[in-house]
Amino acid sequence: MNRQIALPKALTDRVRLQPGDQVYVLEDERNPGVLAIVPVERITEWLRLGRATEERLDMDEREKASRDD
């Protein structure tokens, strides 16, 4: 579900958001009722890093398997 919300200026300044930036509002799993404001770019970066790590681990496993043969 997509909704537009207005964030307080102090928060947008702290997170360094610009008008038009998109964010996800996520509930903190460890602290119910606490919300985290996460810029879309940050999540994109997390995904990129996670995929790169998975690829590196897969490559390491293939190299190890080829040495074991």
More confident of the two residues 9 and 4:
9
Contact by Cβ (8 Å): 64, 44 = no
Specify the higher pLDDT residue, 54 or 67: 54
pLDDT level of residue 11 (50, 70, 90 thresholds): confident
Which residues sit opposite 27 in a β-bridge? 35
C-beta of residue 49 within 8 angstroms of C-beta of residue 41 = no
Reported as a single tens digit per residue, the pLDDT across 21-66 is 888 888 888 998 898 888 888 888 989 999 999 999 988 888 888 8
| pLDDT attached to residue 69 | 66
What is the predicted pLDDT for the residue at 42? 85
Q: Which helix (H) or strand (E) holds 61?
A: helix 40-68
pLDDT at 15 (0 to 100)? 81
Beta bridge partners of 23: 39
Q: What's the rounded Cα separation, in Å, for the pair 18 and 60? A: 40
